[in-house]
């Protein structure tokens, strides 16, 4: 497992509350493609329900991390693509069941006009260092 250093308030930058500004680690880099709210059969989970979709996306991320030999402790960066920023509280709630809220990874959130499927409200990608 990698050793990660979290810097939430670098000198000269406003402190972060929902993410960490800088996460440094040594080890093997893993990039996980954006995950959609699809179950293992490819069926949409939670149509119109951002909380259900967020839970499914984080479950998919967990499976991807395990396949790489890692866990959410190894995540250094999350990127959220959402069709409406109003979904961020549901995403944060799901995130906080998988990640330690005191040691959050770096993060970016981007509102997009559409995702690959119009029923998908979000897509989340992750970078990890194992």
The b-or-e profile of 10-33 (16+ CB within 10 A means b, else e) is eeeeeebeebbeebebeeeebebe
Q: pTM for the full model?
A: 0.90
Closest CA to 124 of 54, 21, 50: 54
The model's pLDDT over 21-67, given as tens digits with 9 standing for 90+, comes to: 888 888 899 999 999 999 999 999 999 999 999 999 999 999 999 99
As separate numbers, helices (DSSP H) first and strands (DSSP E) second, the chain gives: 2, 6
For the domain spanning 23-129, the CATH number is: 3.30.1330.40
- Average pLDDT of the chain is 94
């Amino acid at each position: 497992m990698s050793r990660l250093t979290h810097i939430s308030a670098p000198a000269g930058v406003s402190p972060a509350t929902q993410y960490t500004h800088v996460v440094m680690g040594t080890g093997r880099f893993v990039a996980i493609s954006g995950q959609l709210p699809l179950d293992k059969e490819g069926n949409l989970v939670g149509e119109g329900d951002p909380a259900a979709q967020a839970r499914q996306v984080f479950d998919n991320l967990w499976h991807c991390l395990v396949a790489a030999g890692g866990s959410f402790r190894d995540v250094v960066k999350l990127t959220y693509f959402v069709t409406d920023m109003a979904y961020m509280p549901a995403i944060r709630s799901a995130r906080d069941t998988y990640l330690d809220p005191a040691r959050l990874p770096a993060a970016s959130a981007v509102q997009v006009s559409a995702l690959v499927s119009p029923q998908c409200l979000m897509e989340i990608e992750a970078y990890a260092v194992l």
